Amino acid sequence: SQTIHQWPATLVQPVGSPLSLECTVEGTSNPNLYWYRQAAGRGLQLLFYSVGIGQISSEVPQNLSASRPQDRQFILSSKKLLLSDSGFYLCAWGGLAGVEQFFGPGTRLTVL
């Protein structure tokens, strides 16, 4: 069966510091991968998605970036965090059509 891992589970970072969040998927090949952010009390905002190694589509222009160095690895990064980057970051994988998506446990990021 497929599983999806994210780490760390929680993170507290100062403004201006870098960020690296990692997501890995097991049990499936060539998945579509997604990064979402959920601000407190808000809906899910799609940040990036990837249909293959090295292929990244950005949904929201901001100070975040994503990379997919391996088929089942998806990384979210920032060079300098802003206060507004605080939120619950969720990685998800989906099949070719991408309509059913399955989420990892998420990373709760607080930027101070």
Partner 1 sequence: RKEVEQDPGPFNVPEGATVAFNCTYSNSASQSFFWYRQDCRKEPKLLMSVYSSGNEDGRFTAQLNRASQYISLLIRDSKLSDSATYLCVVPFSGGYQKVTFGTGTKLQVIP
Residues that bind partner 1 (CB under 8 A): 32, 34, 36, 42-44, 46, 49, 51, 88, 90, 94, 96-106, 108
**Nearer to partner 1 (CB atom), residue 42 or residue 80:** 42
Q: Which is nearer to partner 1, 17 or 110 (CB)?
A: 110
Q: What's phi and psi for 85, nearest 5 deg?
A: -80, -5
> Nearest distance from residue 96's CB to partner 1, in Å?
8
Spatial separation of the C-alpha atoms in residues 6 and 21, rounded to whole Å: 8
Q: How far is the CB of 16 from partner 1 (least distance, A)?
A: 26
What whole-number distance in Å separates Cα of residue 105 and Cα of residue 112? 23
Instruction: Tell me phi and psi for residue 109, to 5 degrees.
Output: -105, 130
